[in-house]
Amino acid sequence: MAAGLAVSTSEFEDKVLKSDVPVLVDFWAEWCGPCKAIGPSIEQLSSEFEGQAKVYKVDVDTEPDIATQYGVMSIPAVFVFKGGKIVDQQIGMAPKEKYADMIKKAL
């Protein structure tokens, strides 16, 4: 995982909830095969939407409070936040285009 994409509990409010652009958040874990499979796609979206949207990853093992707060029971779980609220979500693995469409709808 690209280190710059990780967001911690202490950073979540400033980086995600107070963002002036839509934010895609990938809830994942190191042991999760499907999470690792979508990882490269999530990282590519970070570059593709640079300046338009932000992309972060939350490791549910190291940051369980955020996962609990948003009711994440199954991973991968990908949420799009806009204006501090969840505007879209995808539970389970999906193609990169699905995640890109989620961001585009929030722009």
**What are the pLDDT tens digits along the chain (107 aa)?**
455 799 999 999 999 999 999 999 999 999 999 999 999 999 999 999 999 999 999 999 999 999 999 999 999 999 999 999 999 999 999 999 999 999 999 99
Q: So which residues are the catalytic ones?
A: 32, 35
The domain locations on the chain are: 3-106
- Amino acid in the structure at residue 35: C
Cβ pair 2, 43 in contact under 8 A:
yes
CATH topology of domain 3-106: Glutaredoxin (3.40.30)
